[in-house]
Amino acid sequence: MNNAVQLLDVVALTTPVPEHRLERGEIGTVVECHPGNAFEVEFVAEDGYTYALVTLSGDALLPLRQKRAHSDLVSGSAAV
């Protein structure tokens, strides 16, 4: 699986960011990719309020991607 962070990826923090009150494991969305492995990540509450918009290193992020469905793998209908 490709672990490179990409635009619009849903990501989890691998380390806390106390200066922004973010804990390890919080979920955000990559909204901008910057040179040098830096990413703008937006963290949104359930009510839609953006509580943090932070530039982070790709090393602090874990992309969360769904695996393809078993039926896609068996039938070969999944796009690669």
The domains found in the chain, sorted by start residue, are 10-75 (2.30.30)
Q: For residue 74, what is the enclosing H or E element?
A: helix 70-75
Q: Residue written as tokens 């509580």?
A: 51
Q: Tell whether the model's pLDDT for residue 80 goes beyond 60.
A: no
Tokens of 4: 């490179």
This model's pTM is above 0.85? no
Computed on alpha carbons and rounded to an integer, the radius of gyration of the chain in Å comes to 15
pLDDT digits (tens, 9 = 90+) for 2-36: 569 999 999 999 999 999 999 999 999 999 999 99
Model confidence pLDDT, tens digit, residues 30-71: 999 999 999 999 999 999 999 999 999 999 999 998 776 666
* Whole-number pLDDT of residue 38: 97
Q: What are phi and psi of 54, to 5 degrees?
A: -130, 140
Coil vs helix vs strand at 15: coil
